[in-house]
Amino acid sequence: MIQDNVLKSRCVKSCSSSKVVVAPSRMKPHRGFGQKSPCSRSHMYEQLGKLKVMGVKFSPMASSVESEVLLHGDLTSCKLIHLTEGVNANKLMIFLPGTDGTGQSILSQLETLEHDGWDVWSLFLPIKERSGWSELTARTAELIRILQQQWSPHASVSSKQSEHHDSSHEIEMRSSGSTITLVGESFGGCLAIRVALWEPNLIDRLVVINPATCFNESLNGLSALISGTNFLGLFPEQWYTVAQATLLPLLVDMSRVNEKGQEQLKNMVSMEPADPLLLRPGSITVPPRSNNSQSSSWLPQLPLALLGYGPAAAANFRVGLLRDSDLPDVQLRRLSVPTLIISSAKDRMLPSIEEGARLLRLIPQSTRIILPDSGHAALLEDTIDLAALITRGKIQESLSQKLHVVPRGTREEVNSKSRRLPHGTGVDEETGSRHQNAGGLGRQRLVADTLANSNWAVWAQRLAPMRELISPVVLGGENLPLEGSMDWSRPMLFVGNHGKMGFYDTPFLMYELYLRGYHVRGLAHLGHWKGPFGSFMESFGAVRASPMAAFRLLRSNEKVLLFPGGAREVVKKRSEEYQLLWKDTPDFVRLAAKCKAIIVPFASVGADDAYDVIMETEEQLRHPVLGPLFRGVLQGVSKELDPEESVFPLTRMPGLGLPTPIPVPNLNRLYFKFGTPVDTAQVKLDLDNDQECQELYDHIKNSVNQDLAELIALRQNDSDRDVAVRLRRSVSSLVNAVSNATGSDPTE
């Protein structure tokens, strides 16, 4: 299917038929990203004149009939395929697909995209496509340029067939009036970044979804190792089908994909285009410039008969490209296109959280949204709305610049010298505001904060497998202030119960907040700094707990995590599970009110009964041998440490029943809920009125108690609360997937 690429090509007649065959224009070899295309506008018009001299009827808006004839059965050319009607569209979107090359993953998004005014086109890569990165980048940019010259708001290419005037003035007007959003997923994300670097003036906005720019780190390097063998290209159809069925759980959580999406996923695995992609009247094609590509020289020269199953060979080639998909940091820093990075927290194929933070740190004018519960193929999931995500990204980019107010000497003031602003829900907070005045203290805090953000990105990625295993349930996410809003920019105090031992639920609570755009600062017990854990916790932004430390953080518009029960709740007794052991004084209420902070109550269930306790703290301290031993050790560390708050209960190892000095949880499911926030600025609390302060304190405490009761009831009815049950179900799902792929009965 060949259409409308004559502006940058020369046209000859095929000897075997009367069809017009479009051959590419001669272009200089690709030397590096950021160079302009050597095809000038005068060259385009020169080629246009040649076409007229040859007697070829020129019509950039070729008729639907011609398009359908050329399109039908043509799966051999790299092309842009029209996916929407585009009648009322005022925005142009071009989708670059993953390694499947079919573009099917965006089909489920078309309804909302079209409703939001998008005219959507998708790149189609045929199975036999073997272009390297340089060739593929240049051809994709050329396709986009042709489409841009033909497209204008409220009228797509296929709908303007009778309205075309082939004057250079009209072409110039349409070209200047169209804006392009380039969306790339996985493999397409790598290509999208390259296109934006190759033709920065061609793209107005870039959206990358779990880009495979970190492919060599996927599956801890196993993917790159396997792809280096090139064995995948030799797989017959049945072997390839089984291998892909085994990888499906790594691509997406099937429970989040409807039947239609699951069918699309199967077609994507086999690289079979969906019917809408084949029947759509309207396509733009640019044939390859050469049958040989420097990037494919690493492939073994095998006879075609030995290349095995077509999709397997194509997948092998494209995975091989991904091994060379890394771009130098200096190139990413030169990317001038506003970029939205979408990262899936449950991406089992790629370390998307860590990679998203890296790209955010390097790419100017970039923002990031994290999808807390999505997998690698996020666009297939029922709850994902790409149009809403793009709108959200624009809002957080614009509103954060207008609404974010930063006090002097704070972390965000210092980070103002960086390129990006902090953003809202789902966005990694890497940079600061536009305030430019920072002193020596600020420069020290910049180093510390950059380290904290980098550590969070790394540890968030490392916690991801444990999060998959524990599978926490999070309620009340809608109660958190929206991204880019005034409320999000204000100081916030998260107040809730402390789980037993403290180190099972707390990291995952902070992790869930991180995924939703909140980099909270914990108030840690002074005892942590008496041992090796203080500097470790400090690297994640934690500070020594004190009223003054909390006050300074809140005055700096920070998000602070506070456990009013403190260390007492960490060593709670068996009979005290999920009880709030808070002091009766409403100190944190007064603290929040002084700073006009928003108080967010939260509840956590799962940690208090995650341990098999043998001896409570009091029993150990009363023991004739253990008591003096523990007291002597604590005195040697610091005389300020209280034994009743510093000695953990003695527990058994789960599954083995052996005593262990280091408490090990049973890994049963955790449950979190964020309650309704309390805005102390709107409450207008009289700090001198003890009764008013106590009433607000009691209200927040009751809110946490109610949420605890709700979570406990939810857990009692949860059949998946036990880790063993979840593991058996996961294994069963994998066996069924492989069995369905091979056609065997899993019960045999």
Residue 188 sits in a domain of what CATH number?
Answer: 3.40.50
- Identify whether residues 525 and 645 lie together within a single domain: no
pLDDT of residue 231: 56
Name 211's Cβ contacts closer than 8 Å, sequence gap at least 6: 184, 185, 186, 189, 190, 192, 193, 341, 355, 359
Name 732's Cβ contacts closer than 8 Å, sequence gap at least 6: none
- Identify whether residues 91 and 168 lie together within a single domain: yes
Q: Give SS3 for 341.
A: strand
Please state, in angstroms and rounded to a whole number, the distance separating the CA atoms of residues 615 and 621.
Answer: 10
Torsional sign, CA 599, 715, 343, 341: negative
- Identify whether residues 625 and 539 lie together within a single domain: no
Please state, in angstroms and rounded to a whole number, the distance separating the CA atoms of residues 647 and 630.
Answer: 8
Residue 461 forms part of a structural domain: no
**Block residue for tokens 């007649």:** 13
Residue 376 forms part of a structural domain: no
pTM of the complete model: 0.73
For residue 394, give Cα distances in angstroms to 174, 412, 487, 575: 25, 21, 18, 50
Name 134's Cβ contacts closer than 8 Å, sequence gap at least 6: 29, 30, 294, 295
DSSP code for 747? T
Please state, in angstroms and rounded to a whole number, the distance separating the CA atoms of residues 530 and 527.
Answer: 5
84 torsion bin: left (phi>0), alpha (psi -120 to 50), beta (else): beta
- Identify whether residues 220 and 277 lie together within a single domain: yes
Domain tally for the chain? 4
Residue 641 forms part of a structural domain: yes
- Identify whether residues 651 and 518 lie together within a single domain: no
Q: Give SS3 for 287.
A: coil
- Identify whether residues 176 and 192 lie together within a single domain: yes
Q: Rounded to a whole number, what is the largest CA-CA distance in the chain?
A: 106
Strand stretches in 306-372, DSSP E: 339-344, 366-371
- Closest C-alpha to 252, from 238, 268, 241: 268
- CA angle 460/360/412 to nearest 5° reads 85
- Identify whether residues 634 and 674 lie together within a single domain: no
Residue 354 forms part of a structural domain: no
pLDDT of residue 476: 95
Q: Quick one: 60 exposed, middle or buried, by C-beta within 10 A (0-12, 13-18, 19+)?
A: buried
Residue 495 forms part of a structural domain: yes
Strand 473-475 with 671-674, pairing: parallel
Name 107's Cβ contacts closer than 8 Å, sequence gap at least 6: 83, 264, 274, 276
Kindly state the tokens that stand for 189: 């994300």
Residue 421 forms part of a structural domain: no
- pLDDT-flagged residues of the chain (< 70): 1-76, 154-178, 218-246, 270, 273-310, 395-454, 483-484, 526-540, 639-640, 734, 736-748
For residue 239, give Cα distances in angstroms to 229, 311, 317, 737, 744: 16, 12, 17, 14, 14
Residue 315 forms part of a structural domain: yes
Kindly state the tokens that stand for 151: 């497209």
- Identify whether residues 173 and 265 lie together within a single domain: yes
Strand 671-674 with 205-209, pairing: unpaired
Q: Are 562 and 495 in contact (CB under 8 A)?
A: yes
Q: Give SS3 for 539.
A: coil
Query: At residue 495, what is the residue type?
Result: V
pLDDT of residue 413: 38
Please state, in angstroms and rounded to a whole number, the distance separating the CA atoms of residues 130 and 293.
Answer: 7
Please state, in angstroms and rounded to a whole number, the distance separating the CA atoms of residues 388 and 37.
Answer: 34
- Identify whether residues 621 and 693 lie together within a single domain: no
Q: Quick one: 369 exposed, middle or buried, by C-beta within 10 A (0-12, 13-18, 19+)?
A: buried
Segments forming the whole domain that contains residue 742: 718-748
Kindly state the tokens that stand for 280: 């759509």
Kindly state the tokens that stand for 302: 């095998």
Q: Give SS3 for 496.
A: strand
- Identify whether residues 205 and 77 lie together within a single domain: yes
How many residues are there in the chain? 748
Query: At residue 469, what is the residue type?
Result: L
The CATH number for 577's domain is 3.40.1130.10
Please state, in angstroms and rounded to a whole number, the distance separating the CA atoms of residues 72 and 70.
Answer: 6
pLDDT of residue 712: 96
Q: Are 39 and 27 in contact (CB under 8 A)?
A: yes
Q: What is the CA radius of gyration of the chain?
A: 30
Residue 304 forms part of a structural domain: yes
- Identify whether residues 604 and 647 lie together within a single domain: no
Please state, in angstroms and rounded to a whole number, the distance separating the CA atoms of residues 693 and 588.
Answer: 10
- Identify whether residues 708 and 738 lie together within a single domain: no
Name 339's Cβ contacts closer than 8 Å, sequence gap at least 6: 196, 205, 206, 207, 208, 359, 363, 365, 366, 367
16, containing H or E segment: none
Among candidate residues 664, 699, 734, the one where a domain is terminated: 664
pLDDT of residue 400: 47
Q: Which residues pair with 81 in a beta bridge?
A: 122, 283
